[in-house]
Amino acid sequence: MKYINNIILLIILSWSTTLMAQERYFDEIFDNVKVTSDITYATNITVITGAPAPQELKLDIYEPEGDPVTARPLIIMFHSGNFLPYPVNQSTNGTKTDNAVVSMAERLAKMGYVVASATYRLGWNPLASSQAERVSLLINAAYRGVQDANTSVRFFKKTADVDGNPYKIDPDRIVLWGFGTGGYISMNTAVLDVYEKTLIPKFIGVDTSGNPRPMVISQISGDPQGAVTAPINIANHAGYSSSFQLSVNLGGAIGDTSWIDPGMVPMISYQVPTDPFAPYTEGIVIVPGVNLPVVEVQGSYLVQQLANAYGNNDAFVAANLDDVYTQTADSRNDGYEGLFPFLTSFPLDSAPWDWWDATNINNANGLMTNPDMSFAKAMLYADSIIGYFAPRAYVVLNLATSVDETILPDAELKAMPNPAHSEILVATTSAEPIREITLMDVNGKVVKSYRNVDNQYFTVHRNDLSAGVYMLHARLDKGVITKKIIFQ
């Protein structure tokens, strides 16, 4: 029997289920969200004013009200906007309070996450006279965005370490999430780990004498982590790690696929294949509004192709997800786990999850690529985004072990046969049904996750698991039972 793993089916059936079946990290189990605005996470050097000058970088924090958990997974979000300030960017968005950002942050906070919507340094000239100059200016803008993303991670790790963890986050469970231009930031932060990766032909310019010169100069800009002080970078929160566990992008692209290596963090990508501004496979970045070409980059399709080839998304594959959102994505993504292509009614639609007020000063520009924009449309895409994200984040972040729960005696769970060769029947001696089952290897990595079991019996199939010892966690309404199982 093929079991549906994703809790999203529970959402579809939620009108006929009880609150007891609602689950953290899959459902909006909290009614209200506490928002703390304009927290300074760093001060760094901006070029938006012409001459370099210090700028405070801010973020808004969304937390579920009434949440007793003190170590919660963190999502850091970055808005869209073409690396230019709104409304000069000729876009309907470009702030940490964009409609789509706020709505998504609130929904995820109600699911038990802490969400931070962050600003980052802006500034470049999309009207520069030559394409080479536009390339240089844009790659440096993106480089600063990567630095700021890494800095935001270090900020939270520092607050958790020395400031009493005021936002009650788990510093080992962090997600970077980007919308549009922010998608460039979350993707490139995941793969641009060393400065030397920028020293490729398309990012090499010439100086005034015609000699080759890197467009990004480490002696001026510092390292990608932003942890080295340089003329246009201040090293904030030095000594803390910039590591995070998952990258999510809605649109966007990376500077070059040569930046992707085996062993990098898993990635989830949502993109319209006909996106006119960021290529789905490979193409030239087009700046909205001015519509001038900049540089060839690679989009979500090629990124996920390599992420799958290198095994970076193996955790998604091992989870054997088979929910309705996974099925829809798999029918379009050529088998690349982590990729959800969005097919829209209008081919030039690049961000169907966006909506804005009709009074927006750039409303006409927005309607050119999203003419059927509406709140209802945006929410349909948001449902798919969250539905596809939730089980993958659950697996990658090991969220089955992230919440303190009542531990029940293992005598309340039978596993037969054990050891086994191909399958084990799991049965509870309690009158309560098993709600979910998670299987972890000896290193604590989730290798299988079964949602909506809702039965006193369940068969765990070995499939492609290696022989060895595994820890099985069965969640009941009254607590969790942990049992060691062996596949021979």
Residues 6+ apart with CB under 8 A from 289: 82, 89, 90, 91, 126, 365
Task: Say whether both 170 and 256 belong to one domain.
Answer: yes
Task: Say whether both 382 and 453 belong to one domain.
Answer: no
Give the domain-ending residue among 342, 372, 401: 401
Residue 141 and residue 123 in contact, taking contact as beta carbons nearer than 8 Å: yes
Q: How many domains does the chain have?
A: 2
For residue 93, being part of any structural domain is answered with: yes
For residue 20, being part of any structural domain is answered with: yes
Give the rounded distance of the alpha carbon of 226 from its chain centre. 20
Residues 6+ apart with CB under 8 A from 478: 406, 408, 430, 432
Task: Say whether both 363 and 468 belong to one domain.
Answer: no
Q: What is the pLDDT of residue 406?
A: 77
Task: Say whether both 417 and 339 belong to one domain.
Answer: no
Q: What is the pLDDT of residue 478?
A: 85
Q: What is the pLDDT along the chain (488 residues), one digit of tens a residue?
A: 333 333 333 333 333 333 335 789 999 999 999 999 999 999 999 999 889 999 999 999 999 999 999 999 999 999 999 999 999 999 999 999 999 999 999 999 999 999 999 999 999 998 888 889 999 999 999 999 999 999 999 999 999 999 999 999 999 999 999 999 999 999 999 999 999 999 999 999 999 899 999 999 999 999 999 999 999 999 999 999 999 999 999 999 999 999 999 999 999 999 999 999 899 999 998 877 666 788 999 999 999 999 999 999 999 998 888 899 999 999 999 999 999 999 999 989 999 999 999 999 999 999 999 999 999 999 999 999 999 999 999 999 999 877 766 788 888 899 999 999 999 999 998 888 998 898 988 877 788 888 889 899 999 999 989 999 999 989 888 888 999 999 99
Q: What is the pLDDT of residue 116?
A: 99
| Residue 193, burial from CB neighbour count under 10 angstroms (0-12, 13-18, 19+) | middle
Task: Say whether both 345 and 478 belong to one domain.
Answer: no
Task: Say whether both 138 and 35 belong to one domain.
Answer: yes
Task: Say whether both 395 and 420 belong to one domain.
Answer: no
Q: Give kind and range of the element (H or E) at residue 62.
A: strand 53-64
Domain harbouring 448, CATH code: 2.60.40.3080
Give the domain-ending residue among 371, 401, 431: 401
For residue 3, being part of any structural domain is answered with: no
Q: How far apart are CA 354 and CA 241, in angstroms?
A: 33
For residue 2, being part of any structural domain is answered with: no
Q: Look at residues 178, 187, 186 and name the one whose alpha carbon lies nearest to residue 100.
A: 178
| Residue 22, burial from CB neighbour count under 10 angstroms (0-12, 13-18, 19+) | middle
Task: Say whether both 394 and 482 belong to one domain.
Answer: no
For residue 224, being part of any structural domain is answered with: yes
Q: How far apart are CA 317 and CA 464, in angstroms?
A: 11
Task: Say whether both 237 and 269 belong to one domain.
Answer: yes
Residue 1 and residue 318 in contact, taking contact as beta carbons nearer than 8 Å: no
Domain carrying residue 464: 407-487
Tokens of 181: 């231009």
Q: What is the DSSP letter of 233?
A: B
The angle at the Cα of 80, spanning 79 to 84, to the nearest 5 degrees, equals 110
Give the domain-ending residue among 375, 401, 427: 401
For residue 80, being part of any structural domain is answered with: yes
For residue 311, being part of any structural domain is answered with: yes
Residues 6+ apart with CB under 8 A from 452: 4, 5, 7, 9, 10, 435, 436
Residue 143: phi, psi to the nearest 5? -60, -45
The angle at the Cα of 276, spanning 59 to 184, to the nearest 5 degrees, equals 30
Task: Say whether both 186 and 298 belong to one domain.
Answer: yes
Task: Say whether both 300 and 422 belong to one domain.
Answer: no
Q: How far apart are CA 247 and CA 142, in angstroms?
A: 16
For residue 214, being part of any structural domain is answered with: yes
Task: Say whether both 446 and 374 belong to one domain.
Answer: no
* pTM, rounded to two decimals: 0.86
Q: How far apart are CA 10 and CA 31, in angstroms?
A: 18
